[in-house]
């Protein structure tokens, strides 16, 4: 099984993981939107035994939402989201955007769509651009 790498924007934190993810959750719940600052969180799930830190693990800060099984781990230097262990430690939750290479995912699910804000609906209808559009 192939391993792929990921890390933070500044390069302080890096990891490798077997490229066989069980699930990709695109979560629109209020907490995930707040913790990511985006329309939804994009998190991959894999067994902890398929994951290894390569560098910077000591520079990771973790925030645990009080009373919930929701966490956010990030690089202390650049603030990029990085993986964290599930509450029981059996799984790693890997922010999809932290991977450097494409992920192989068994199942993709959009969850808590009932909490999605109206500005984030019908995104497939929003004009797309390969880069920043020319100023108007």
pTM flag (> 0.75): yes
Which domains are present in the chain?
A: 3-120 (2.170.150.70)
Q: Smallest Cα–Cα separation from 45: which of 63, 16, 24, 31?
A: 24
Other CB atoms within a 10 A radius of the CB of residue 109 amount to 11
- % of the chain exceeding 70 in pLDDT: 100
- Chain centre to alpha carbon of residue 86: 13
pLDDT band at 74 (very low <50, low <70, confident <90, very high): very high
* pLDDT (tens digit per residue) in 22-46: 899 999 988 889 888 898 999 999 9
């Amino acid at each position: 099984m192939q391993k792929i790498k990921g890390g933070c924007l500044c390069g302080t934190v890096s990891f490798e993981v077997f490229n066989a993810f069980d699930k990709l959750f695109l979560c629109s719940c209020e907490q995930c939107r707040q913790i990511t600052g985006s329309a939804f969180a994009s998190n991959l799930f894999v067994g902890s035994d398929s994951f290894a830190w390569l560098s910077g693990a000591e520079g990771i800060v973790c925030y645990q939402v009080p009373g919930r099984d929701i966490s956010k781990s990030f690089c202390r230097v650049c603030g990029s989201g990085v993986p964290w262990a599930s509450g029981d430690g059996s799984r790693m939750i890997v922010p999809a955007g932290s991977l450097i290479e494409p992920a192989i995912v068994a199942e993709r699910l959009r969850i808590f769509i009932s909490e999605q804000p109206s500005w984030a609906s019908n995104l497939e209808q929003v004009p797309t651009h390969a880069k920043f559009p020319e100023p108007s």
